[in-house]
Structure 1
Amino acid sequence: MSTEEPGTEGTQPRRLTRAETKARTRVLLLEAAAYVFARKGFAGASVDDIAERAGFTTGALYAHFSGKEEVFVELLAGRTHSRLAEAAEIVSDVDSSLDETRSAMSRLVVDVADNDDDFALLQAEFWLYAIRRPEFQQHLAGQFRTNRDALAAVLTARAEKRGQGGDVPFEELATVLVALFQGLVQLRRTDPDLVPESLYGEASRWLFSGITPRP
């Protein structure tokens, strides 16, 4: 496995530093793990499978992770954090109207549901694995709380910038919004016709304003 970074035309490749090589190896192992776990499941996957897919030895994997459980947890946390960061960026844009924010979140639901099949399989695998093990249930709950708290902080900051907020229970609101997002993503993966692109935005509007007849 090369430890050189391609150079531009006419220049020599730059050798990666030790830290860069280590970080690159970790990324490649996580990418390989996503592929293996999605196709073999947690129980069927092995550290040998992951290392072989990444092009490394099992020793290289153990130099970065204690075993496949740690790989699995970090992989899911990283994917989840990435999606949460996208959602937080959308919600925290105070220059966008509420309708624009809801539309952008609806599009994110569709994008997550339609374009990341491996992540869908990883989520299902992790839920099945965690629900049978109390220590992993705690991890799963902790991950949800982390996501919920991050969104609650964004909602609070947005409301304060608009001179709103008051006694709004932002933590409870964020819990419902995260659960709504996750639920609609899973439902669209099962039956896209049940979750059109506008549904998340409409559902969040119902949450804030109540259901009104369509014109």
Structure 2
Amino acid sequence: MIQLYYSPGTACLAPHFLLEELGLAYELILVDTAKQQHQEAAYLQLNPKGKIPFMIDGDLHLSESAAICLYLIEKYTDTQQATHFNPAPGTAERAQLYQWMLYLSNTLQAELLSYFYPERLSEDAAGAAQVKAHAEQRVASMLSYIDTQLSKTAGNYLLGHELSCADLFLFMLCRWTRGMTKPAREYPHLKPYLQSMFERRSIQDSLAQEGISAPYY
């Protein structure tokens, strides 16, 4: 059985959503980051990076939220049936999926980490405050870009008419903006998109399992 090591509300959410969406059997294992359990020897022996999430599937040990999502769709969906979760390699849909997953993980998520952990980029409180403010401005421009792209899609999702793991990843990151001056839910196209995503059983069940309460996004 798949094991997903998680800390509530962190980057574990996207693979957690996906496990639910695919209907896979899995075990959630809590790693209490508030108690620094991710830095304890037992966890570091499994995952030397000391990060969340971490997944075990048989002999495979895998970290990085986006990598876990891509692995799950490749292993547990059938490309021969052209499932919307796993577009066939070499297709335009597959290229778009890669583009969105890389943009979300390498650009938006990275900037959100600067927003939440500005002290990592500055030696004093005043500098950290400036890093945080500038990160929020850059996140706003990224959300505006995503909002515009949603207005241009043929359907209700990033890839058009069908849900993909990129949508689950985006919902996770948009949730992280809920405390910002202009959170994702206040953009005209992101607002109905996030409400529609939140209504999915996979997302509601995952949030409940992790003990996450409102505001959800």
Query: Could you state the TM-score of these two structures normalised by the residue count of structure 2?
Result: 0.31
TM-score (norm 1): 0.31
Bigger proportion of residues as helix:
1
User: Greater Rg, structure 1 or structure 2?
Assistant: 1
